[in-house]
Amino acid sequence: MTLDNIKPGNSGIISSVKGEGMLRRRLLDMGLTPNTHVEVRKVAPMGDPIEIFLRSYVLTIRREEASKIELKGVL
């Protein structure tokens, strides 16, 4: 399952970050690394962007970027 398919209030653990080049590097630099716990806090009314909570901070990313992040252990 990918991060863009998670409903607000649910969480999971990042299993892998897909993508290539600068996009992948940017996601990793923002703290979206494997074995990190993430929680979806809010989704904008039109579905984009997505607000997530990880590593004690809130991050907002686009749905397209969230589709590159695979999760395991979704609650």
75 residues of the chain, pLDDT tens digit each: 999 999 999 999 999 999 889 999 999 999 999 999 999 999 999 988 999 999 999 999 999 999 999 999 777
What pTM was computed for the model? 0.87
CA distances from 15 to 44, 46, 52, 64 (A): 25, 27, 16, 17
Residue 64, CB half-sphere, CA atoms under 13 Å: how many?
A: 1
Distance CA 22, CA 36 (A): 20
pLDDT for the residue 73: 78
CATH of domain 3-72: 2.30.30.90
Q: How far is CA 61 from the centre of its chain?
A: 7
CA distances from 56 to 7, 64, 67, 71 (A): 20, 23, 22, 19
